[in-house]
Structure formats: structure tokens, C-alpha cells
Chains A and B, each alone.
Chain A
């Protein structure tokens, strides 16, 4: 059986049979790969932490009957500090869940892997409100890469001007609506001016720059609520980690 090597991030695992796992991987090219790790749930398995979520590694895969089979794995970055802190682990679970939902088999999106690794790398060292800022930044960037880049400077329906104070954000069109378009719009969410400015800043910053932006928590919570609605509107499956995270941050 010919095997090939893939650099990938482990997103999720599902129990299979007595002691196997199905590991959902995000490959370097942005494709999702589901692969079986045989015996991975037994203590002393040669896989051990190498197939745990948030691990970036080099995986040797061979093509099985229905799923790929992991024949070997070497860790490049285990993201151990995420596992050692409850708040970080919670933020990382949102990242993994959203990536699981937006990545597709054999559909390349090279920027997605870079975003994933940059986000987990930033979460490793972050604390407190920075974790929330990184989570919101990840959501808006991931949606942009998924083909839903929000537009904040003009009405996304007609291109007309939008007012600066409180606005209705169209979940469908992905931006604040002008007065004319607002009338007939169905699915909208409230967007405070603070949340709008924060999202523009987060979208324009690198993950490493996000903690330095110093966006206040109430504004981050507004922006998070908006992005959660946006993600929920466009993704076909429910992100349950996002629901739990929302409950934990009180949003």
C-alpha cells in the first residue's frame, strides 16, 4: 500500500470500534482528511498524543477502503500550553470546531492552515481578554477565507453609504445595510459602532498583533455575538463549541 506524507493539524477525533480513532485532520493545503489511527485509544499506543486535537505534525497516510489510514505520526508542535489551561482549551475548541465545519475534503484553501496554526500559536501565550479577542479575530478571518468576507464601509447590497451610529448588519449579505436596503432585509443583527471598528481592526491585524489592539471586553463581546450569528447563519452544521463558548463568556 503506497503511503504519503502530509503536514496537518489534528482537529477532532471520533471513537471507532474497540480501540481505534478516526482523526479529522486539516492538511497544509487546507483540505480536510479523515484518517483512522488503529489502536490509538490503548495506553502505550505508538500514536499517543500525536493524534490529539491541536497537534500539528507530519502524518504518513495510506489509502484505505473508505478512510485514509495513519501509519505513522511525528509531532511538529503539540500546543501543550493550550491543554494546560481551561480558558485556552475552550477558545481552541471553537477554532477546531469551525475548521472542522468549513474545511472540505479535496478542496484546497492554503490560507486556512496558516490561519489555524497562527491562531493556536497565539492562544498558547494568551490570557484573559486576549483569548476572546483572538477567538473573534479567528472567526472573522475564517469566514473571510470561507468566502464570506464581511464588508464594513458600504452597504453590501447596493454599495450605498451607511450611517456611523448603530446599524443593522445583514447576516445574508455580510455587512451594515443602508437605510433603503434595511427596510426589506430579513436576517439582521445589531452592530454597535464599537463592534464595527473592532472587527475592521481584527480583520486587518495579524494574529500576533491582535492582543496588542487592546479592544475592551464589552466591545469584544458585541463583536463576538455578531460573528457568532454570522457563522451560525452561513455554516450548514451547528458549531456546538461556539454555543458553549458563548455561554461561558456570557453572550
Chain B
């Protein structure tokens, strides 16, 4: 059943391991690489090897970092009394893009999902509690996803952090800007009403 020369088969096999890449997409990517010049292929290979060599997890917040500390943790002008807890490094990028937050982060590296066998032990929760004991944080903002896994994770962390006398807040969830009220689901609309504000 050798449809492909072994080097192509090997590339396809590796590409198909990537998230969201099925056999068709893998084939398209492989053909693109094969049609392109050797330098382009070398640049791609280098970039992959380099990112694995140069990037590790921040020792303080578990964001991606180029040295022991990530950019945010190494920045002395950031407000160390406010901590934003997120699921993944890409969520740090999303919050940073808002330009609304100047505190520090803590990346859990996932969310509680019992059906997938992910409990609090599999996340960076213990490290979060350690940090709260060491650092002088006065507010923890829980910015996990507003889905069942994110909500469950937020509930769990709130239960651990509140007894430490630290203020715990949850990002609001409500109607998306630019959306139509009539299409909102009941839970979203209910939450938006609950979190209404004075005008």
C-alpha cells in the first residue's frame, strides 16, 4: 500500500499529528512544501527547531518565555497586586491585545475537564496558590473560558483563593459587541442582565 515515496509518507505522517490537520490538509501542505524551493523548506524546519529550543515556560506564571521569566513577569512597571488567571498562553495574548490590563498573569495550561481525565492536579493550580503565598496579590481575576470547563475551573480556584483573604473576580460574560439581542441564548442573555450596569 505504498502510495507515496517513503520521505513523503513520513512528512504526511508528521503533519497529520498536528491539531486540526487531516489527511487532505496534510497532503496540501506537503505538496506546497515540495513545490517550493529548498530555502523555504529549510526556513520552516529551522523555525520549528528554533522555537522548541528558545521557548520554554515562564518559571513564575507558566506563560511562554525566552528566558526564566516571560516578558510580562520581567517588566517591573507591571502591577504585581493584580493577577489574571487564564487557561492558555494564547489567552495572555488575547488579554494583552485589549490594552486594558497592566497586572501579571498565571497560565493554568488547561481547564478542568473530568470527562477527559483533567482534574486540578493536571493544571498549574498548586503553583498559583504558592505564588499567592509569596507575592502580595490583592485581586485575582479569573479569565478562564465562559464554557463548562472554564466555569468549573473558576469555581474551583475561587474556592481555594477566597479563604486567603484575596479578592476574587470573574470576567463578565454577556452579549458580544455587534451582535443581535434576539439571537442570544438564554444563559448568555441571563448573565448579561445579571451583570447590567448603571448608565
A-B contact pairs, 14 of them (CB 8 A): A18-B20, A44-B176, A47-B185, A48-B185, A50-B185, A52-B148, A75-B186, A75-B187, A86-B152, A90-B152, A93-B114, A100-B115, A241-B117, A245-B114
**Known interface pairs A78-B186, A85-B155; A53-B179 also in contact (CB < 8 Å):** no
Contact (Cβ within 8 A) A49 B155: no
Q: How distant is the Cα of A241 from the Cα of B116 in the complex, in angstroms? A: 7
Q: Which chain A positions have C-beta within 8 A of B183? A: 46
Q: Which chain B positions have C-beta within 8 A of A52? A: 147-148, 187
> How many inter-chain residue pairs (CB < 8 Å) link A and B?
69
Interface centre among B20, B119, B148, B159, by most chain A C-beta atoms within 10 angstroms, is: B148
Closest Cβ neighbor of B156 among chain A residues = A86
Classify the interface of chain B: helix, strand, loop or mixed. Answer: helix
**Known interface pairs A47-B185, A48-B185, A96-B115; A89-B179 also in contact (CB < 8 Å):** no
Contact (Cβ within 8 A) B185 A75: yes
Classify the interface of chain A: helix, strand, loop or mixed. Answer: helix
Contact (Cβ within 8 A) B117 A93: no
| Chain B proximity of A60: nearest CB distance (Å) | 15
Q: Which chain B positions have C-beta within 8 A of A90? A: 114, 152
Number of interface residues, chain A, beta carbon within 8 A = 34
Contact (Cβ within 8 A) B117 A243: yes
Judged by a CB distance under 8 angstroms, whether B169 is at the interface is no
Judged by a CB distance under 8 angstroms, whether A133 is at the interface is no
Contact (Cβ within 8 A) A89 B148: yes
Contact (Cβ within 8 A) A80 B187: yes
| Chain A proximity of B125: nearest CB distance (Å) | 13
Contact (Cβ within 8 A) B119 A247: yes
Q: How distant is the Cα of A248 from the Cα of B121 in the complex, in angstroms? A: 11
| Mask: chain B, 137-150; 1 = CB below 8 Å from A; 0 = not | 00000000001100
Q: How distant is the Cα of A48 from the Cα of B191 in the complex, in angstroms? A: 12
Q: Which chain B positions have C-beta within 8 A of A111? A: none
| Mask: chain A, 104-125; 1 = CB below 8 Å from B; 0 = not | 0000000000000000000000
Q: Which chain B positions have C-beta within 8 A of A199? A: none
Judged by a CB distance under 8 angstroms, whether B88 is at the interface is no
Judged by a CB distance under 8 angstroms, whether A38 is at the interface is no
Closest Cβ neighbor of B119 among chain A residues = A244
| Chain B proximity of A64: nearest CB distance (Å) | 15
Judged by a CB distance under 8 angstroms, whether A94 is at the interface is yes
Judged by a CB distance under 8 angstroms, whether B151 is at the interface is yes
Judged by a CB distance under 8 angstroms, whether A2 is at the interface is no
